[in-house]
Amino acid sequence: MLLNKFINKRYYSSLNSDKLVLGIDLGTTNSLASHIPKSLANAKTHAPTILTTTKTPSIVGFAKKNNLEGISTDLTNDKHLFNQLKENLSVFIGDQAQNQYRLNPENTFKAMKRIIGTFNENDEIFESYKNQYSNNVSLNNSVYFTLFKDSKLKVNAEIIAGFILSEIKAKALQELNMENAKVDAVITVPAYFNNLQRKATLNAADLADINCLRIINEPTAAALSFGVLKEQNKDGVYAVYDLGGGTFDISILELDGAVFEVRGTSGDLKLGGEDLDYLIRDYVLDKFLKLNDNINKNDVLNNMSFMNELLNHSEKCKIELSHKTTSEINIPFAFKNSHGDYIHFKMEIKESEIDKLAEPLVKKTIKIFKKCLKDAKIDKQSLQQILLVGGMTRMPYIRKQIIKNFISDNNSEIDFDNKLNYKINPDDSVCLGASIQAGLLTGEIKDVLLLDVNPLTLGMETYGGLMSPMLQKNCNVPIEYKEQFTTGIDNQQIVKINIYQGESKLCRDNVKLGEFVLSGIPQLPKGVPKIEVSYKLDSNGILNVTARELLTNLECNLELITTAPIENNYKKQVNSDVDVNDLSWVFENLGLWQLSFKELDLQFRQYTGTVHFSENIASEFNDLKAKFAAWETMKEDSSKDHEMVEFFAKKGGMNRLKARINKLQTDFMSELKGNKV
Ligand SMILES: Nc1ncnc2c1ncn2[C@@H]1O[C@H](COP(=O)(O)OP(=O)(O)OP(=O)(O)O)[C@@H](O)[C@H]1O
Ligand SMILES: [Mg+2]
């Protein structure tokens, strides 16, 4: 039954020679495309192949071609800006851009996938970019980098991704001799990409005139490629460990017959090979400067092109050390010392030194992997295989750590080669999986079913700041869930829906994704209105929330973020000496009484001016308002958790509050009636 959800009939008709369907891995460091050759469309293997000419380093550089004057700089229209840049500048993509990196780093952009879809330049992820690019501006929910320092031309990560995709598209069409064909594609993203990042990726495809059939999670794509390409599928639970240039992803999948079910997924968007490159660069530089104390450290650090070159050499050395035990970084005439003499940078580095530098990064991945297994309720012994994906998994140290933590257990009987699967080139597997997904959508592949999951619980806030889960973590997508809610007080006309993501019972410890207000609810006694809230998560991982009052059919909806940026960011510690149940009781009840008070206060304000209320009533409203505001501030501050539990739960504060509000309600109503008579 579920199969129908995944095979989109709209695309059946698109199987013709004017159309090329690609699987694209848009990577932080490298991007590439694959396709299913037409001759194999009806064959049993459905084996996609990599289009080798499309392998492109994810770097884009710009140089002036003509006078820049007269070029439109309208940032509100990305497509127009993209075309303006394409027509009026020399745009270098991939290897060519890599070559211009040393000469012109300010106008050459790499690792942009790390910031695609982020709109705040104060985000810590921008630190390294701030040093390199000048005059960054946040505009239209995106950060733009200024080209050529003084010009008005700007680019953002989406535009850069657009250029990479257009290059891949052009190379693929050329390789297959289909120059005039239209291109459809399945594009991969890290499982933890949020809605903005997914949308930015869709937008980049649009800039490149690629019709994106589906956004699919990278580890899921990798698993598809391992499973489908294997000669003999073996049922069981698999883990996909994907450590690329910029991101880490882990997924647990179950293969049952031809059905792939994702049991769990997790990751870190700021953890990848590039981080190790920076660590290596800083380490060798530090060592070099210690040995050469006549060199001014700041001069070296401010020499951007040397620093970039050293970074490139650090990466090369890391790669070399995956099959050698020592390597050397050698940059002749690297920079001048204070006497104006040229200095050669030469330094030997051992594999053990790199391993030490990699240790904290790898430990982080192991921790996330363990938690993912726990969340999916799988123990490591039941893993059929761990599939290795991403260039970094070529590092012997990483393989050893995975074996040590998830496979070995001192069991000499274990066939390591069989447990750790790196049979498919770690650079290609995600891309091949994207083509398999494309084959599923177009109908070229019919005997595999993919069930993907929602990575974190999505819910809404109910009274007292409690999280009411709507879509559980690891539920299969696409999915829609509806639940009916009602009002908490008489004549309530407004309901605010706060949407959260995360695993805590308390909303304040989760990530707030958005909010909207449903107003105009008919005035009825509490509990009578029927408000149906629906959470719909589509196959691209994009969430749409709607709320409808069923008596009037009044509707609101909001489309928003589905996935949390990183695990560490969304957990706020609850004060350790406080019982979380006590605290949630306090928040729940406080929220309830606050809502009652707010409604009462609203009515009070409505009638003030036309009805005369006594001084007592007015001062009680003001006093309670000030108190709720103070409690609101205390709720945000976890160092006050203890005080709140003491006051409200242990010293009867909640009962006193309840009594005050009840009394206020009675007094208010009687004064209102008295005045009206
Ligand atoms: N032999 C090797 N040893 C160690 N690291 C390697 C090796 N080969 C490639 N890498 C590293 O792998 C990373 C690139 O991997 P990959 O191409 O899978 O990343 P990506 O797909 O571009 O990034 P992401 O998946 O994070 O978006 C780079 O950091 C590169 O230095
Ligand atoms: Mg990758």
Rounded to whole angstroms, the Cα distance separating 508 from 498 reads 11
Residue 176 Cα distances to 35, 46, 298, angstroms:
10, 18, 51
Q: Are 147 and 173 in contact (CB under 8 A)?
A: no
3-class DSSP assignment, residue 470:
strand
The class that CATH gives domain 273-356 is alpha beta
Rounded to whole angstroms, the Cα distance separating 434 from 216 reads 7
Give per-10-residue mean pLDDT for the chain (677 aa): 28 53 96 84 68 96 83 78 90 90 85 81 63 68 80 89 97 93 94 79 95 90 75 76 91 79 82 93 92 83 84 94 93 80 89 96 96 90 91 95 84 67 88 92 76 79 82 81 82 79 80 74 83 85 83 69 32 54 74 74 75 87 91 82 87 86 82 63
Assigned CATH topology for domain 59-162: Defensin A-like (3.30.30)
Phi-psi region of 46 (alpha: psi -120 to 50; beta: other; left: phi over 0): left
Q: For ligand 1, is residue 273 a contact (CB within 6 Å)? A: yes
Q: Is the pTM above the cut of 0.85? A: no
Rounded to whole angstroms, the Cα distance separating 625 from 628 reads 5
- Residue nearest atom 2 of ligand 1, based on CA coordinates: 319
Q: For ligand 1, is residue 392 a contact (CB within 6 Å)? A: yes
Q: Is the peptide bond before 396 cis (omega within 30 degrees of 0)?
A: no
Query: Regarding beta strands 326-336 and 259-268, do their DSSP bridges make them parallel or antiparallel, or are they unpaired?
Result: unpaired
Which ligand is nearest to the Cα of residue 201, counting in written order?
Answer: 1
Within 10 Å of residue 73's Cβ, how many Cβ atoms? 12
> 22: closest CA among 540, 445, 539, 435?
435
Angle at 625 between CA 620 and CA 627, to 5 degrees: 95
Instruction: Specify the ligand 1 atom closest to the Cα of 247.
Output: 26
Supply the pLDDT for residue 161.
Answer: 97
Which ligand is nearest to the Cα of residue 243, counting in written order?
Answer: 1
Which ligand is nearest to the Cα of residue 247, counting in written order?
Answer: 1
- How many whole angstroms from 172 Cα to the centroid of ligand 1? 22
- How many whole angstroms from 274 Cα to the centroid of ligand 1? 8
Q: Are 450 and 202 in contact (CB under 8 A)?
A: no
Amino acid identity of residue 44, one-letter, is K
Q: For ligand 1, is residue 56 a contact (CB within 6 Å)? A: no
24, 25, 26, 29: which to mutate for ligand 1, most atoms within 8 A of CB?
A: 29
Q: Are 95 and 57 in contact (CB under 8 A)?
A: yes
Supply the pLDDT for residue 411.
Answer: 57
Query: Regarding beta strands 154-155 and 210-217, do their DSSP bridges make them parallel or antiparallel, or are they unpaired?
Result: unpaired
Q: Are 58 and 27 in contact (CB under 8 A)?
A: yes
Supply the pLDDT for residue 577.
Answer: 66
- Residue nearest atom 3 of ligand 1, based on CA coordinates: 319
Assigned CATH topology for domain 454-572: Substrate Binding Domain Of DNAk; Chain A, domain 1 (2.60.34)
Q: For ligand 1, is residue 394 a contact (CB within 6 Å)? A: yes
Q: Where in the chain is the domain with CATH 3.30.30.30?
A: 59-162
Q: For ligand 1, is residue 351 a contact (CB within 6 Å)? A: no
Instruction: Specify the ligand 1 atom closest to the Cα of 427.
Output: 18
- How many whole angstroms from 392 Cα to the centroid of ligand 1? 5
For residue 264, report the phi and psi dihedrals to the nearest 5 degrees: -175, 155
Q: For ligand 1, is residue 272 a contact (CB within 6 Å)? A: yes
Supply the pLDDT for residue 396.
Answer: 94
Q: For ligand 1, is residue 107 a contact (CB within 6 Å)? A: no
Query: Regarding beta strands 494-501 and 466-471, do their DSSP bridges make them parallel or antiparallel, or are they unpaired?
Result: unpaired
319, 365, 388, 397: which to mutate for ligand 1, most atoms within 8 A of CB?
A: 319
- How many whole angstroms from 6 Cα to the centroid of ligand 1? 31
Q: Where in the chain is the domain with CATH 3.90.640.10?
A: 273-356
- How many whole angstroms from 245 Cα to the centroid of ligand 1? 4
> 215: closest CA among 187, 191, 196?
187
Q: For ligand 1, is residue 94 a contact (CB within 6 Å)? A: no
- Residue nearest atom 24 of ligand 1, based on CA coordinates: 244
- How many whole angstroms from 390 Cα to the centroid of ligand 2? 5
Does an H or E element contain 499, and which? strand 494-501
